[in-house]
Amino acid sequence: MSSGTVATITGYKVGTWEVDPIHTEVGFSVRHMMVSNVRGRFLKFGAAIVIAENPVDSMVTATIDMASVDTGNEQRDNDLRSAGFFDVATYPTMTFRSSGIRPISDEDEKFLLDGDLTIRGITQSVTLEVQIGGFGPDPFGGTRVGFSATGEIKRSDFGMTGNMLIEGGGVVIADKVRINLEIEAVLKTETSSS
């Protein structure tokens, strides 16, 4: 990607950004009983984003508190916290560290974000599709950026293999988990471009 491409991303700003947890959602969904999707989210997390002059040189790190899972059902949330799933007593956090960013064809504001995701002490490579929502000022004199990101993982890749069979075929909980992120971040340190 050439440096001229950055000029087409309106308001593009280089620097270190801190995720605003009040305006961010770290969510997921999974097929249930082979007929519907159950959605959940994590309420406690932190992340730092470094946006470079060339977008493909940018980086992100994130840590998520696994005990903060919220699916709207206390019994299900407790099941997810148990040793059969997240095992939060042993592995209290999930982490993500980017390893590379690639543009999607010639679409300036869409990228593939590669990284290492660690859940239950197991690290796997994952790829998220990221759409830049925009850069702009906030009412407090700051600057904000927004992103949407989606991806898919298999829970079995992270040691979560527990399940129940349904009579006639199928399982209660699908192996594939859809990741859905809506991120808003605040500029903390601006870096001047050369």
Q: What's the CATH number where 33 sits?
A: 2.40.128.110
User: Which pTM does this prediction carry?
Assistant: 0.87
What is the spatial distance between Cα 174 and Cα 29, in angstroms, rounded to a whole number? 10
Does residue 174 sit within a domain? yes
Q: Could you tell me the pLDDT band of residue 9, with boundaries at 50, 70 and 90? A: confident
Beta bridge pairs of residue 94: 64
Does residue 194 sit within a domain? no
Which residue type sits at 52? A
Does residue 104 sit within a domain? yes
What is the spatial distance between Cα 131 and Cα 129, in angstroms, rounded to a whole number? 7
What is the spatial distance between Cα 113 and Cα 102, in angstroms, rounded to a whole number? 7
Quick: pLDDT tens for 41-83.
999 999 999 999 988 899 999 999 999 999 998 998 998 899 9
Number of domains in the chain: 1
What string of DSSP letters covers the chain? --HHHHTTSTT---EEEEE-GGG-EEEEEEEETTTEEEEEEES-EEEEEEE-SSGGG-EEEEEEEGGGEE-S-HHHHHHHHSTTTT-TTT--EEEEEEEEEEEETTEEEEEEEEEEEEETTEEEEEEEEEEEEEEEE-TTS-EEEEEEEEEEEEGGGGT-----BPTTS-BSEEEEEEEEEEEEEEEEEE----
Quick: pLDDT tens for 105-143.
766 688 999 999 999 999 999 999 999 999 999 888 999
Structural domain that includes position 131: 3-188
Does residue 193 sit within a domain? no
